[in-house]
Structure 1
Amino acid sequence: KFLSKGLANIKSTLDEGVSRRIFTTKRVTEILGRISPTTDLSRLVNCQLIIEAVFEDLNVKNGLFRHISSIVSEDTILASNTSSFSISELARAVSHPERFIGLHFFFHAAKNRLVEIVKGDKTSEPVFDNMMQFMQRIGKDPIVCHDAHGFVVNRFFVPWLNEAVRIYEEGIADIAAIETAACRTFGCSMGPFALMNATGIPIAYHAQKTLYDVYGAFYKPADKLLQQMNANSPWEIKPEQSIDWDIYLEISERLSAVTMLVCGQILDKNICTAGDITRGAGIGLKWRKTPVNIFNRLGQDRVNELVQPLLQKWDLTIPRRMDTNSWIPDYISVEKYDNVGVLIFNRPEGLNAINPMVIDQLEKGFTQLEMNEQIESIIITGRGKAFVAGADIHFFVNHIKKSSVNEILDFTAKGQKLFDRIDHSKKKIIAMVNGLTLGGGLELALTADVIVALDHSLFAFPETGIGIYPGLGGTQRPIKRVGKNLTKFLIYSGNMIDAKNACDMGLIDKVVSWDEFGGLFENPHELTSAKKGPSQNWIDVDNFIDGKTVKNLLEQSSKASEWDWLLRKMGKKAPRALEIAEKLIDAERGPASELEYLEEIFTTADALAGLQSVGKVPPKYQGH
């Protein structure tokens, strides 16, 4: 019965993927063919990884792990999907506890990219490294947290739910008003009561009860939460028509205060970093306004004011790390392996997009590795779906609207200076591209001596399609690899190029599988630039563009032409952006030349229209 229900749920999810054109029916059949449901635990004997996901009962979990430990080999990695129990405590039921680890997935596990990776006190480094790579390989965005009840996300999310019930219990507002205020404050599509209805009220209660048992009175479940669970019925949520500002403010500040107080406690215990809190909230909960965003918007003094009532009511002390410096997200991670340094873009909730904070952290990390005499090679890579998906569009739009384009110019100039340092470094620079590589991301990759890409990676210069042109070397550095004509093709078309085609063009040096990718971190020194000419299909593109100006191409009749698709694409780009890109490529005066036209392009109506259209219907560009 349970196996049939489980398979039906899996098939329903996959069928939804077909309707959304994520999967083909053939792919669904293949996936289902790889699933072997069973109630016979002895069939697990040859498994390499087993993830337990039974309900949150410590005795049940311990019994299961004792049984499994007696069946599988000592090399089998055992993991728990627990959302609340200590991994170190669970490991006591496992023989060879060094192979035990926490892998906490988030609802809906097939769709939600977040997973918390939790090391117990005996988890081995090889097991941890293996799971970090495996989670990324299956499309997850892992955050690393130390072993503590509730880990990272549930530690602040569950009290957020509980505080919403307390506000309702105290008669401050009805459920609909609390939902509205919560969604506005945290930028989420579902409020606390709707989320409890979706995931199950008993789950919320038991998670809060576990935190209460471990951490004390502040975490005590609200009486109405227990009552609602015992009533075995969902919360009744009525449509909210309007909400009084004072009530909205009280709800918003109460929910914010609880969330930030708990996050401060998390930071105090070094359970994770501020960046992990941001990634957890942004990816796992889909909050557009994370606790870190809210802290930095309100400021240290105001946040400390907001948490005072909680400190007094529950006899708590303020966390030591309720200061601005502790709440700076770590977007660039720096790692070292013998004589190899690694710079990792770790902002998957924003597709690793570049903004001033990212540039500052990249510069600091690069300087640290460049000055280390033991480091011979520096690898640049990303976490999540993207290597780097260009510059942060919101940064551009905000400053255009504020008429502070100088901020964009300063940001670009600083980025140019850093990219030039990377380009001319005496260390060997390897770009290990792990996914989507757009605009500034491709410009960064092109500063490397060698570019290696996973086979599913995609490359593009989309700038002229959003009203601007590449400004971090994109009109210059590709010329060294593919020549002027193919550089023009990349910028004029904005075409998304897969890894194989990028390699055939000569834009990158090597395409690798996941199996090969991990091994390159250990010994990248032997990697060399391919320095090969383009394949015949790219020679044909080169020949078509050769000798033609943007004006020639746009005026050329495309009827019955094999190049119709390219000409139509160019016709939808911002005219001034195309003209400037052409001028820069033809002159080939180096990346710094791109700075000359930045103020002009970012003050055009087309730039604002294009940048605001990302993810929407492209505008019709006016050429000014």
Structure 2
Amino acid sequence: LTGSPIAMHSTDYLATQLDTPRYSATQSLRDLVADGRTWDVEGEEGCDDDAAVRIRERLLGQVFAVSSQIVAEGICSMEDVDRGAKVGLRWALGPFEIANRIGVREAVRMASSYADEAGLELPEWFTERQESFDFSYIDVEVEDGIATVRINRPEAMNALNVTLVSQLGEALDGLNARDDVTTIALEGAGKAFVAGADVKFFVDKIRADAIQDIYDFTAHAHTVLDKLESSQKTTIALTTGLALGGGLELALACDYRVGTRRTQFRFPETGIGIYPGLGGTQRTPRICGIECSRYAVLAGNFLDAASAEALGLLTHLVEPSQVEATVALIASVGKPGQKYLGRPADLENSTVAFAKSFYSEGNMPSLLSGGVPDGFEVDDKVVSRQLKSLSRAAPIALSMASALLDSASGSDLESGLGRELGGLEAIFGTADALEGLSALIEGRRPSYSNL
């Protein structure tokens, strides 16, 4: 994976940093580097059960020992150790997640056994641990009245899960209650703002016939988003990267959304068998109007920064170097006079003009039945792209999403959000929901049955 030179450098560096000569590169590894070779791992030789146990004990013991030392010395946090293992080494689980999986006491035993053999002293914070490790995905900093809330799960592109949503809610409760905070700015660690929700959670719950758990998670997430919606503070989403599905819905609950040329928005839900369930069918039409919301939600179109700004989903499009100054400017202005304008920001924009024409009320019966609206040609590349996107959506999801969008204009936001929640059992109970979500995980195109 790394090559023998990097492996040798890493072991020597670790030996120096931890003042542990035992970690220095072996002579066999130095010989590989000198000869320009790598390890030969193509053989089919196996090992007996006893050897496998010893290898597991030695490797995991060393991993736990070194990881606990790294944290104890303040090099980085426990969460960062796990992120480094998953992002840099492509591990499925980080060291402390593995410890939770096999049991913390067992991990301590392995590390202690290795430490005794290697002559190491393990930090007390690790050896005295009895309970599973708790991980923090939310970091908060407050400066000059502006609270920056960082969603810090970059190894999963900051995807929303039960723990993250709960921690975000707790952070928002604390900030909303502080007199020294006037503005709350959300940002995502890494390249994404938030890339949706944890799809595997949905699939596991559907297969376990536990759709109520999906409802409970989503209802709780609605409560957390309302802490932004109803906040007396000025709320900003720093959507300077990718915001998908639930991540975009999180951003839409804020007063403002700041982006750069790298910003990308998308609602992928209808293409994976469900509909946006965290306010996407209700806040989107209230922001940009019904036709543009259909363009965004029903077809799941990718919106670049310029298109997102034209639709009104992005309130500030700035250079990356101007993000911080823009946050300060917004903080000085305060909350918007009217958050939901119900129309796109730029009626002259070509994407907006097409959306208002193609997704007009009169065209919807034809589009939802797979037809081509009068006045449009299937040979037109833009039209063809829309028809293809709609044809690849799950029919039930498409129909339910369309109905929810339509209902937004005739009720208040609270009632609309209630309708979103009310349809969750029906949509997640379809065969197409399981098919679409499973296909996403498995990296294949879904095959929908309209069931």
Scaled by the length of structure 1, the TM-score of the pair is 0.64
Alignment of 1:326-341 (within 5 A): 327-341=133-147
Alignment of 1:517-556 (within 5 A): 517-526=323-332, 533-536=345-348, 537=350, 538-548=352-362, 551-553=365-367, 554-556=369-371
CA shift, 1:205, in A, is: 5.0
Is the 2:226–2:253 contact (alpha carbons within 8 Å) kept by the matching residues of 1? yes
Please say if 1:613 is aligned against 2:447: no
Aligned equivalent of 2:221: 415
Is the 1:450–1:509 contact (alpha carbons within 8 Å) kept by the matching residues of 2? yes
CA shift, 1:551, in A, is: 4.5
Residue 150 of structure 2 aligns to a residue whose secondary structure is strand
> Which of the residues 166, 171, 179 maps onto 1:365?
171
Aligned equivalent of 2:412: none
Residue 387 of structure 1 aligns to a residue whose secondary structure is strand
Is the 1:550–1:578 contact (alpha carbons within 8 Å) kept by the matching residues of 2? no
Is the 2:100–2:132 contact (alpha carbons within 8 Å) kept by the matching residues of 1? no
CA shift, 1:394, in A, is: 1.9
CA shift, 1:353, in A, is: 0.7
Deviation string, structure 1 residues 137-160 (Cα, Å, up to 9, x no partner): xxxxxxxxxxxxxxxxxxxxxxxx
The percentage of aligned residue pairs carrying the same residue is 32
Aligned equivalent of 2:99: 295
CA–CA separation in structure 2 for the residues paired with 1:467 and 1:244: 46
Aligned equivalent of 2:67: 263
Alignment of 1:18-33 (within 5 A): none
Kindly provide the amino acid, as one letter, of the partner of residue 385 in structure 1. K
Moved more, 459-468 or 600-609: 600-609
Kindly provide the amino acid, as one letter, of the partner of residue 92 in structure 2. R
CA shift, 1:285, in A, is: 2.0
CA shift, 1:238, in A, is: 2.7
Aligned equivalent of 2:423: 597
Aligned equivalent of 1:203: 9
> Which of the residues 116, 134, 153 maps onto 1:312?
116
Is the 1:337–1:522 contact (alpha carbons within 8 Å) kept by the matching residues of 2? no
> Which of the residues 431, 434, 446 maps onto 2:237?
431
Aligned equivalent of 1:581: 401
Kindly provide the amino acid, as one letter, of the partner of residue 543 in structure 1. S
Residue 265 of structure 2 aligns to a residue whose secondary structure is strand
Residue 524 of structure 1 aligns to a residue whose secondary structure is helix
Is the 2:105–2:130 contact (alpha carbons within 8 Å) kept by the matching residues of 1? no
Residue 590 of structure 1 aligns to a residue whose secondary structure is helix
CA–CA separation in structure 2 for the residues paired with 1:308 and 1:533: 62
> Which of the residues 330, 349, 353 maps onto 2:155?
349
CA–CA separation in structure 2 for the residues paired with 1:275 and 1:345: 13
CA–CA separation in structure 1 for the residues paired with 2:132 and 2:311: 45
CA–CA separation in structure 1 for the residues paired with 2:108 and 2:364: 57
Deviation string, structure 1 residues 439-495 (Cα, Å, up to 9, x no partner): 011101101111111121000100011111111101101122111222122111111
CA shift, 1:416, in A, is: 0.7
CA shift, 1:520, in A, is: 3.1
Kindly provide the amino acid, as one letter, of the partner of residue 590 in structure 1. G
CA–CA separation in structure 1 for the residues paired with 2:37 and 2:291: 65
Alignment of 1:166-245 (within 5 A): 190=1, 195-197=2-4, 199-200=5-6, 202-211=8-17, 214-216=18-20, 219=23, 221-222=25-26, 224-225=28-29, 233-240=37-44, 244=48
CA–CA separation in structure 1 for the residues paired with 2:149 and 2:406: 33
CA shift, 1:206, in A, is: 3.0
CA shift, 1:418, in A, is: 0.6
Aligned equivalent of 2:411: none
CA shift, 1:579, in A, is: 1.3
Alignment of 1:385-534 (within 5 A): 385-526=191-332, 533-534=345-346
CA–CA separation in structure 1 for the residues paired with 2:287 and 2:82: 37
| Larger relative contact order (Cα-Cα within 8 Å, sequence gap ≥ 6) | 2
Structure 2 unmatched ranges of 5 or more: 409-414
CA shift, 1:586, in A, is: 1.9
CA shift, 1:324, in A, is: 6.8
Is the 2:8–2:25 contact (alpha carbons within 8 Å) kept by the matching residues of 1? no
CA–CA separation in structure 2 for the residues paired with 1:459 and 1:432: 12
Kindly provide the amino acid, as one letter, of the partner of residue 242 in structure 2. L
